[in-house]
Amino acid sequence: MNERYEVTSQSNRMGYRLDGPLLQRKHSVEMVSETVTFGTIQVPNEGKPIILMADRQTTGGYPKIAQVIAVDLPILAQTKPGEQVVFRDISFEEAQRLYLQHELGMKQCEKVMMLKMGG
């Protein structure tokens, strides 16, 4: 999934609707609703992905095809309609490494701020 998708004007805090290459199911099956989280990517019948955002529902019945990694969620949340997103497949281990790297960077920023504030 290395295609470019544009965030549409129908996007909001519940979900970002994307416009780009349509994704088609190999098999048409009824799905049972299951838990979804911030960053879950679902594909409804028309084939246009939706990224679930902060105010999403708690369950969903569309196929889940991917999950946006935790460190990218704040960046994604700043994306505006008309801007593009590109997905890249990474391993669970790389997602963990990026998360830990981000946390380390945040702790270093906190230390610098404390030093500058005289704390």
Q: Name the residue among 19, 30, 54 with its Cα closest to residue 40.
A: 54
CB 82 within 8 A of CB 6: yes
**pTM (2 decimals)?**
0.84
In tens digits, the chain (119 residues) has pLDDT values of 578 999 999 999 999 999 999 998 887 776 789 999 999 999 998 999 999 999 999 998 899 999 999 999 999 999 999 999 999 999 999 999 999 999 999 899 998 998 888 76
**End-to-end distance of the chain based on CA atoms, in angstroms?**
47
